[in-house]
Structure 1
Amino acid sequence: MAIAELGHFGVFCTDLEASTRFYRDVLGLTVTDEDLDLGMRFFSARPGFEHHEFQLVAGRSVGPAADGNKLIQQISFRVNTLPELIEMHQRFLENDVVFDMIVSHGNAFGIYFFDPEGNRCEVYWHTGLPARQPFLVPIDLTEPIPQLLEANARLVEEFGTTGIVRRGLVGNLIPGAE
């Protein structure tokens, strides 16, 4: 079991539109999804391969990085298989890792957790299904794999083109949002 690659990361910003212009127009990333009500925009350098490698989230405190100012929204790492994700979950449990949430994104299953410094991180596995983001539904990685996959397929069939956020999860990704 090993991390396959750095998957994506999210950054809080003070001006979503100005930051979007920079990452889209200056760096040349492609906007792949957005939810302006939640202040989220997703970008990819290889949209045919990866839905997003970078995410902007409105909500950064104004001023230089200091105690209380949040800069990093998340750091995400991809594993190659669902059994590897489940093994990682077990490893986290054995090491008293603090979880934020464990969810289906439709196109991925993600374990959100905090590193020792309190930075939010994610380990995720691609499901192979397309789903508009944000798509956040809690899952239980102790359920049998066939049940997890069947439930996810049903959710993607119903919400894959619109996205879905189950109540209470938005605040985990965007401070102050519900």
Structure 2
Amino acid sequence: MAISRIHHVAYRCNDAKETVEFYQNMLDMDFQLAIAEDQVPSTKAPDPYMHVFLDAGNGNVLAFFELPNSPKMGRDTNTPEWVQHIAFEVESMDALHAAKAKLEANDISVLGPTNHGIFQSIYFFDPNGHRIELAANTHTPAMMAELKRVAPEMLEQWSQTKKAPKHADWLHNGQGFPGSQH
């Protein structure tokens, strides 16, 4: 099997119109299409829905379902709210700062930028409570090569100990990439 890309990623929303308008106005996404049915095509369950699709750039599609007959949506209370999120890439740090200013000018609380060593991010919530991350890459090819090199060993160590391996602690320890000039 050869996966060519993610076709779309779908989440639930409280209100399809409000959600589309948020992503159009705050993140400049184009509203691509809507599908609405009274019956779920795959299961044949009688469950009306509105399914909306937004262009997240480069062929990436973000979709939402509004389900008016289902109980009010919630979140997995056993998972911290910072874990599940949708991360979008922006082209530069200037774009990241401009996005933060735009969001804050629209009364949206924004956390960051947070420096992750290979990218910097800001975080905020959409009207449905989904955590959104905007990330601007700051990495070099050498950084990415080193992270790829140590990934299998880190995963194996984690699998055995459930303690954070230190192979890539340079990402957040403030000392920077070992191969870079200071």
TM-score past 0.5 threshold: no
Larger-Rg structure? 2
What TM-score results when the alignment is normalised by the length of structure 2? 0.36
Higher-strand-fraction structure: 1
TM norm structure 1: 0.37
